[in-house]
Structure 1
Amino acid sequence: MSGAPRGADGRFRNTEAFEPRGLADVLRWQWQARREQQAAAQPTPTQPADLDFLARNRGGAIGPAVTWLGHASVLAQFGGVNLLTDPHCSHRASPFSFTGPQRAQPAAIAPQDMPPIDLVLVSHNHYDHLDVATVQALARQPGGPPLFVVPLGLKTWFARRGIAEVLELDWWQTALARGVELTLTPVRHWSSRTLGDRMASLWGGFAVLAPDMHLYFGGDTGYSPSNFIDTRAHFAGRQSAAHGGGFDLALLPIGAYEPRWFMAPQHVNPEESVRIHQELGAKRSLGIHWGTFKLTNEPLDEPPRKLAEMLRTAGLTAQDFCVTAIGETLRLAPRTPLPPP
Structure 2
Amino acid sequence: MPHKLNFLSVLVLIMQISCAPRHYQGPVSDHFDGERFFNPGKPMDKGLLEVLKWYWTRQPQPWPEYSEFPVTDKPPQRVMGNQLRISFVGHVTLLIQTQGLNILTDPVWSDRASPFTWIGPKRVHPPGIRFEDVPPIDLVLISHNHYDHLDLASVERLWRRDRPRIITPLGNDRIIHDRIPEATIEAHDWGHQVVISPNLTVHLEPMHHWSARTPFDRNRAFWAAFVLATAGGNVYFVADSGYGGGDTFRAAKKKFGSFRLAVLPVGDYDPRWFMAYNHMNPEEAVRAYNDLGQPQMLPTHYRTFQLADTGYEVPFRDLTAAMQAASAPEGRIRPLMAGEHWWVE
What is aligned with 1:230?
251
Tell me, yes or no, if the aligned pair for 2:82 and 2:98 is still in contact at 8 Å: no
Tell me, yes or no, if the aligned pair for 1:112 and 1:137 is still in contact at 8 Å: no
Q: Quick one: distance in 1 between partners of 2:55 and 2:31?
A: 30
- Which runs of 5 or more residues in structure 2 are unaligned? 1-27
SS for the counterpart of 2:153 is helix
The 5 A counterparts of 1:118-133 are 118-133=138-153
The match for 2:115 among 95, 103, 125 is 95
Q: In the alignment, does 2:264 pair up with 1:252?
A: yes
Q: Quick one: distance in 2 between partners of 1:163 and 1:271?
A: 43
Q: Quick one: distance in 1 between partners of 2:49 and 2:61?
A: 23
Q: Quick one: distance in 2 between partners of 1:87 and 1:162?
A: 19
The 5 A counterparts of 1:188-267 are 188-225=208-245, 226-236=247-257, 246-267=258-279
Deviation at 1:196, TM superposition (A): 2.2
| Closer, same or farther: CA 84–184 of 1 in aligned 2, 3 Å | same
Q: In the alignment, does 2:285 pair up with 1:285?
A: no
**Could you report, residue by residue, the CA deviation over 1:78-103 in whole angstroms, capped at 9, with x for unpaired residues?**
12211110111100000011100000
Deviation at 1:209, TM superposition (A): 0.9
The match for 1:156 among 167, 170, 174 is 174
Deviation at 1:140, TM superposition (A): 1.5
**Could you report, residue by residue, the CA deviation over 1:19-52 in whole angstroms, capped at 9, with x for unpaired residues?**
262222112211221xx2221479999452331x
- Which runs of 5 or more residues in structure 1 are unaligned? 237-245, 334-341
Q: Quick one: distance in 1 between partners of 2:71 and 2:150?
A: 23
Q: Quick one: distance in 2 between partners of 1:325 and 1:83?
A: 19
Q: Quick one: distance in 2 between partners of 1:90 and 1:20?
A: 31
What is aligned with 1:329?
341
Tell me, yes or no, if the aligned pair for 2:63 and 2:306 is still in contact at 8 Å: no
SS for the counterpart of 2:103 is strand
**Alignment: residue pair count:** 315
SS for the counterpart of 1:29 is helix
What is aligned with 2:283?
271
The match for 2:48 among 16, 19, 23 is 23
Cα RMSD (Å) of the superposition?
Answer: 2.1
SS for the counterpart of 2:303 is coil
What is aligned with 2:313?
301
SS for the counterpart of 1:18 is coil
Partner amino acid, structure 1, of 2:187: E
Partner amino acid, structure 2, of 1:310: A
Q: Quick one: distance in 2 between partners of 1:18 and 1:43?
A: 38
| Closer, same or farther: CA 266–91 of 1 in aligned 2, 3 Å | same
What is aligned with 1:339?
none
**Could you report, residue by residue, the CA deviation over 1:177-201 in whole angstroms, capped at 9, with x for unpaired residues?**
2441111110110111123221111
Q: Quick one: distance in 2 between partners of 1:313 and 1:163?
A: 51
Q: Quick one: distance in 1 between partners of 2:321 and 2:215?
A: 39
Deviation at 1:289, TM superposition (A): 0.3
SS for the counterpart of 1:322 is coil
Deviation at 1:272, TM superposition (A): 0.4
Tell me, yes or no, if the aligned pair for 1:12 and 1:200 is still in contact at 8 Å: yes
